[in-house]
Chains A and B, each alone.
Chain A
Amino acid sequence: MVTIFIDNKPHQVKPDQNLLQACLSLGFDLPYFCWHPALHAVGACRQCAVKQYKDDKDAKGRIIMSCMTPVSEGLRISVDDPEARAFRKGIVEQLMLNHPHDCPVCDEGGECHLQDMTVMTGHNYRRSRFRKRTHQNQDLGPFLNHEMNRCIQCYRCVRFYRGVAGGRDLNVFGAHDHVYFGRHADGPLESEFSGNLIEICPTGVFTDKTLKEHYTRKWDLQTAPSICVHCGVGCNTIAGERYGSLRRIMNRYNRDINGYFLCDRGRFGYEFVNSHKRIRTPLVKSPSPPAGEGRGEGGKPADRETVLTHIADILSKAKGVIAIGSPRASLESNFALRTLAGENSFFSGIGNEEQSLVSLIIDIQKNSPASSPSLREIQAADAVLILGEDLPNTAPLMALAVRQASRNKQFEIAAAMKLPLWDDNAVRNAGQSAKSPVYIISPAETRLDDVAAKTAHVPIQDIVRLASAISQKLDPNIPPLSSGERTEVRGQDVDALAKEIATVLMNAKHPLIVSGTGCQSTGVVQTAANIARALQLKGKAVQLAFAVHECNTLGAALLGGRTLDEAFTVMQDGLADTVIILENDLYRRADEASVEQFLGRAKNIIVLDHIMHRTADQADVVLPAATFAESSGTLINYETRPQRYNEVFVPRGDIQAGWKWINAIMMATQHPAPGGFATLDDIIRKMSRELPLFAELADLVPPAGFRIAGQKVPRQSHRYSGRTSMIADRTVHEPKPAYDADSPLAFSMEGSEQQPPAPLISRYWSPGWNSVQALNRFQQEVGGDLRKESTGTRLIKMIGGQSEYFRIDLSEDPAESPQYFIFGSEELSNLSPALGKRRPMDDQQDPRMTM
């Protein structure tokens, strides 16, 4: 800690930061544009000026850029100095010379950093009478609007897009005050992180095109803290609703996972919630056609009571019930289903190969001494080996973290030269093209290859061969492949490559091995574990990350359901005639013929889901289950970190959470399980009692009874408008806001304005800070932990050290691996019209991966 004097008052600050960061962390309102906690400082905008004094006698001082000044012991500055203020006001005035008169029709309005800074500096009236520069816009594809007139040349966009996300098709063109930020020609931005420009750009140059379809100002959105449901990474999001439809997804800062960013699948995939394929009422086909015969066309809408009685009737007459859970349903819904059907009749609903792989991964995480890293830890790795996983398509944010990890070498070089690490240009200049080693061994090219020291694109069996060779270089005791070793794969000398990688991993301080379920290969996962174990035995603090592809794959697997194949057998053997399927399209899980056969044999099929799909088409009873936006629940991400998503808005009609439906069914059937599942807390309590693994789940998020000074946390901002008018076309009586029994959040603008604990933050706002950068005010120190931080912990803590090396059998591995697409491979996001436009041609896709 060093002491600096700001306006003659001493303050204690951390030494390794710049003055701007220090001032913001101390709560000063110091305007800035080009600096960003994740992009660091370049000193481009000249907005963050303060005055520096030599000593306490110096009355004159000089203007400096705070973002380019390191804090040092005894530093004396003034934020409040009239000259510094005038300077800052002048900068905004200059930016405003060319800024259009657009706020009323600008999508950034109301959450615009430029607006905030303009107000903050007190530039209220335009003095210039000259005309404004204008620019032509570009069509940047289905995700982003482009309105170049509004640019203030802060360079944040290109610094993020090229420097952080590794994109290549956005750049700055032109000269002097004509500089232009865009692509060389119209066309969709290629990077899968392009959506972050919405939050990175401090003005309305890049705005959300999907939001424009149903535009709503930030203050009018009812928002709740949520979790992305489109892959296994589990990024934290803020989801916003207005007039009963979901309007947009924004980033929610989580130090350990997604930090400041989201991928485009997560940001723009939300529109499935508003899809016309949504199931909105219970549907019943009656009478149920006899088993084995074709099932008629869609069911008829029925009311809640009828359908529940009908289901109770079905279940009471059933010969046996098969309950199929889902890796895209919440832990609670899966658990409720498991309780309804009984442990032995619960099937986790993951495809067979995947389930065995996921069980293996869980075993490895339980027993392997290598810890399963968060994205922040991945980012800190100084040598990375990726085995078989196409990260940019299967776990995009993990790819982004690896990309950042590759820059650690630059930071190392800069640190050796005693450069401040927040000085972005200096660090990049010092590091030049130096990169921490990343090795990618995968079946095909990946969009991460550009940071790789070496890549090998080889078939799956060869990945196993290479990985096995690496592990043997690290520890000769590792059993060799049972058969089929080769000295050369696809022109790569196995021995030389293995030796190189082994040496690099051995020399690294924080080596990281990444693999996943992408290859659907046991061998790949096992060799990854072997390498990690070998490194660990050599005393390395190695980390081992496995990407999984759905938001709750691990959750469903950890509940210990049986496999789908077993379900098929049970049905075939006639031990059951009724199936309940929770939020799952079986056609995506197993081959068509077996699913047809399975469903054909079933006398009664009950499906709970939010969208119609081929499985739901065949159901006798369909129940409308809520999406992530209309219900609360827990998801478990790739590192077994449980995270809570919260109901954003009350769904219309009969739609309710899967676990609420199951609870209703249990009530209707007078199920013997003790205690109902009336609220989320009930179900979590029961879960943590029954399954020791989930014992800590109850401490994850404050319980529903949590209050701040006796008040709930509001989902609506204090500026929420239209309260007495939005439903006035139907009734002039304003109903009492719905009560949320599952969380401490309220469907209201009333409640505590204090900052809630981290998992309950539903928006970033602070007086004078309306843009996303109000986040600064929620952090203990800018870019660091949130106040009242709690990111949760992994369910599986490192237990082992005892694991054995795997003996690898090549013959088990598939010859070909499926190809994944960030836009297109995931079921739900696929229904979003914007995402659909970026889907690769259908003939390139695995039929199981499409709708």
Chain B
Amino acid sequence: MFSILRSILTVFMTMFRKRITVQYPEERSTLAPRWRGRIILSRDPDGRERCVACHLCAVACPVDCISLQATEDQMGRRYPEFFRINFSRCIFCGYCEEACPTCAIQLTPDFEMGEYLRTNLVYEKEDLLISGPGKYPGYNYYREAGLEIGGKAKGEGSQDEPPVDVKSLLP
């Protein structure tokens, strides 16, 4: 008996609380930068595609909605030949962002993706790629990797010694 009364009272009291419903879309609340919405591919500080086509986001995705194909330019720099996210399957879990070693793939605070056709929810690389570094401004993966790519010779990486002279016996 008491608990019934208490419940009724609780519901009644709610009527006097401050309203938090916003009149979307006229009114919008601010979303935190780490909100998990529409996925983008970012560029490194030099303006080049960050994604190195490592396939980690694709394998991390629990609904398998990311597919891509790796390829390389003449300079030895790996990038995705195509990169596709089927947003009609995506559950915005953010695992891909977590898996990405290059900060390329990021979830953004945008959820307004309503479409009448499911096919319109299939985003290709052109639709995903933005022109800036997104949430992580400084990082440039290829500067850290030991790989030689155009514009960066062996040993010029940020963590590298100059290449060894194999013929030298000096310690």
A residues sitting closer than 8 Å to B (CB atoms) are 100-105, 109-110, 131-137, 147, 149-150, 173-176, 178, 180, 212, 214-217, 219-220, 243, 719-726, 728-729, 731-732
Central interface residue in A110, A134, A149, A243, by most chain B CB within 10 Å: A134
Inter-chain contact B58/A721, CB cutoff 8 Å? yes
Query: In the complex, how many angstroms separate the beta carbon of A274 from the nearest chain B beta carbon?
Result: 14
Contact B163–A134 (Cβ < 8 Å):
yes
Determine how close the nearest CB of chain A comes to the CB of B161; give it in whole angstroms. 5
Contacts of A105 in B (CB 8 A): 52, 54, 78, 145, 147
CA distance A728 to B88 in the complex (A): 10
CB atoms of B164 and A732 under 8 A apart: no
CA–CA, A149 and B122, complex, Å: 39
The 7 closest A-B pairs by CB, nearest first: A100-B146, A722-B67, A104-B54, A721-B58, A723-B64, A174-B166, A725-B67
Q: Could you tell me if B65 and A134 are in contact, using CB atoms closer than 8 angstroms?
A: no
Q: How far is the CA of A630 from the CA of B86 in the complex (A)?
A: 28
Q: Distance (Å) between the CB of B63 and the closest chain A CB?
A: 6
Interface digits, B49-66 against A, CB 8 Å rule (1 contact, 0 not)? 000111110110101111
* Bound complex: CA A216 to CA B67 (Å): 11
Contact A104 B102 (CB under 8 A): yes
Question: In the bound complex, what is the Cα–Cα distance between A712 and B156 (angstroms)?
Answer: 51
Q: Which B residues, 115 to 130, have Cβ-Cβ distances below 8 Å to chain A? A: 118-119, 121-122, 124
CB distance B84 to A134 under 8 Å? no
Q: Name which residue of chain B comes closest to A126, CB basis.
A: B159
Given contacts A105-B78, A175-B169, A732-B119, 9 further A-B contacts (CB under 8 A): A100-B146, A101-B145, A103-B54, A132-B160, A173-B166, A174-B167, A212-B72, A217-B59, A726-B67
Contacts of B56 in A (CB 8 A): 104
Query: Which listed residue (B58, B147, B165) contacts A102, Cβ 8 A?
Result: B147
B154 proximal to A (CB < 8 A):
yes
Once the chains bind, are A722 and B148 in contact (CB under 8 Å)? no
Known: A101-B145, A220-B58, A719-B59. A176 touches B171 (CB 8 A): yes
How distant is B148 from chain A, measured CB to nearest CB, in Å? 7
A131–B84 touching, CB < 8 Å: no
Query: Which residues of chain A are near B171, meaning CB under 8 Å?
Result: 176
Q: State the CA gap A740–B55 with chains docked (Å).
A: 28
Among B59, B101, B122, B154, contact of A721 (Cβ-Cβ < 8 Å)? B59
Contact A724 B70 (CB under 8 A): no
A133 touches B164 (CB 8 A): yes
B92 at the interface (CB under 8 A from A): no
Q: Which of B84, B102, B161, B162 contacts A728 (CB 8 A)?
A: B84
Evaluate contact between B160 and A131: CB separation under 8 angstroms.
yes
Inter-chain contact A101/B166, CB cutoff 8 Å: no
Contacts of B169 in A (CB 8 A): 175
Distance in angstroms from A673 CB to nearest chain B CB is 45
Contact B122 A728 (CB under 8 A): yes
Checking B61, B101, B122, B162 against A732 with a beta-carbon cut-off of 8 angstroms, the contacting residue is B122
Contacts of A726 in B (CB 8 A): 67, 84
Answer yes or no: B155 CB below 8 A from chain A CBs: yes
The reply to whether A100 and B145 contact each other, CB–CB distance below 8 Å, is: yes
Q: Is the CB of B147 within 8 A of A100?
A: yes
Residues of the A chain whose Cβ atoms lie less than 8 Å from the Cβ of B84: 725-726, 728-729
**0/1 interface trace, chain B 25-45, chain A, CB 8 Å (1 if under):** 000000000000000000000
The answer to whether the Cβ of B85 comes within 8 Å of any Cβ in the partner chain is yes
Q: In the bound complex, how far is the Cα of B159 from the Cα of A134, in angstroms? A: 10
Q: Which chain A residue lies CB-closest to B149? A: A105
Pairwise interchain contact A104-B52, C-beta atoms closer than 8 A:
yes
B148 touches A137 (CB 8 A): yes
Query: Whole-angstrom distance from the CB of A91 to the nearest CB of chain B?
Result: 21
The answer to whether the Cβ of B98 comes within 8 Å of any Cβ in the partner chain is no
Q: Is the CB of A134 within 8 A of B166?
A: no
A102 touches B154 (CB 8 A): no
Find the B residue at minimum CB distance from A212: B72
Task: Tell me if B89 counts as interface (CB < 8 A to partner A).
Answer: yes
Q: Determine the chain B residues whose CB is within 8 A of the CB of A136 once the complex forms.
A: 154, 163
A136 to B167 CA separation, bound complex (whole angstroms): 12
Please give me the residue from chain A that is nearest to B161 by CB atom: A131
**B7 proximity list for chain A (CB < 8 A):** none
Which of A100, A216, A719, A725 counts the most B-chain CB atoms under 10 A from its CB?
A725
Whether A180 contacts B161 in the complex (CB less than 8 A), given A722-B64, A732-B88, comes out as no
Q: Indicate if the CB atoms of B167 and A728 lie closer than 8 Å.
A: no
Q: Are B124 and A729 in contact (CB under 8 A)?
A: yes
CB pair B86–A134 under 8 Å, yes or no, is no
Check B86 against A732 for contact (C-beta < 8 Å): yes
Smallest CB separation, B101 vs chain A (Å): 5
Question: B65–A724 contact, CB under 8 A?
Answer: yes
Report how far A732 CA is from B154 CA in the complex, Å. Answer: 44
B85 and A135 contacting across the interface, CB-CB below 8 Å? no
14 A-B residue pairs with Cβ-Cβ distance under 8 Å, sorted by A, are A100-B160, A132-B161, A133-B164, A134-B155, A149-B146, A150-B146, A174-B168, A216-B69, A722-B58, A722-B66, A725-B84, A725-B86, A726-B84, A732-B88
A638 CB, nearest partner CB in chain B, Å: 39
B136 at the interface (CB under 8 A from A): no
> Within 8 Å of chain A (Cβ to Cβ): is B144?
yes
Measured in the bound complex, the distance between the Cα atoms of B164 and A109 in whole Å is 25
Cross-chain contact A101 with B164 (CB below 8 angstroms): no
Q: How far is the CB of A451 from chain B (nearest CB, A)?
A: 30
How many Å from the CB of B105 to the closest CB on chain A? Answer: 12
Of all chain A residues, the one with the shortest Cβ separation from B78 is: A105
What is the CA–CA distance of A180 and B169 in the complex, to the nearest angstrom? Answer: 12
Q: Are B86 and A102 in contact (CB under 8 A)?
A: no
CA A101 to CA B141, docked complex, whole Å: 9
In angstroms, Cα B169 to Cα A109, docked, is 33
Report whether B66 and A729 are in contact in the complex, using a CB–CB cutoff of 8 Å.
Answer: no
Q: A725 is contacted by which of B55, B66, B119, B167 (Cβ under 8 Å)?
A: B66
Known A-B contacts A104-B56, A136-B154, A732-B118; A725 and B89 likewise in contact (beta carbons under 8 Å):
yes
Q: Nearest-CB distance from A779 to chain B (Å)?
A: 27
Within the complex, the shortest CB–CB distance from A561 to chain B, in Å, comes to 44
B49 to chain A, nearest CB (A): 13
Return chain B residues, CB-CB under 8 Å to A100: 145-147, 157, 160
Most chain A beta-carbon neighbours within 10 Å: one of B59, B146, B155, B157:
B146
Complex contact A133–B64 (CB within 8 A): no
**In the complex, are the beta carbons of A101 and B72 less than 8 A apart?**
no
The chain A residue sitting closest to B70, CB to CB, is: A215
> Is there contact, CB below 8 Å, between A131 and B166?
no
Query: Are B63 and A724 in contact (CB-based, < 8 A)?
Result: yes
The proximity string for B residues 62-97 relative to A, scoring 1 for CB distances below 8 Å and 0 otherwise, is 011111111110000010000011101100000000
A138 to B61 Cα, complex, angstroms: 37
A102–B64 CB distance below 8 A: no
Residues of B close to A109: CB separation below 8 A: 54
Contact flag A220-B55 (CB < 8 Å), given A102-B145, A103-B101, A135-B163: yes
CB–CB A725/B161 < 8 A: no
Shortest Cβ distance from residue A434 to the other chain B in the assembled complex, whole angstroms: 33
A147 / chain B contacts, CB cutoff of 8 Å? 147
The interface residues of chain B lying within 8 Å CB-to-CB of A217 are 55, 59
User: Shortest beta-carbon distance, B80 to chain A, in Å?
Assistant: 11
Given the interface pairs A104-B101, A178-B164, A732-B118, the reply to whether A132 lies near B148 with Cβ below 8 Å is no
Say how far A744's CB is from chain B's closest CB, in angstroms. 24
- Bound form: Cα–Cα A728–B54 in Å: 20
Contact of B67 among A135, A721, A731 (CB under 8 A): A721
Q: Once the chains bind, are B122 and A219 in contact (CB under 8 Å)?
A: no
A174-B85 contact in complex given A137-B148, A147-B147, A725-B66, C-beta closer than 8 Å: no
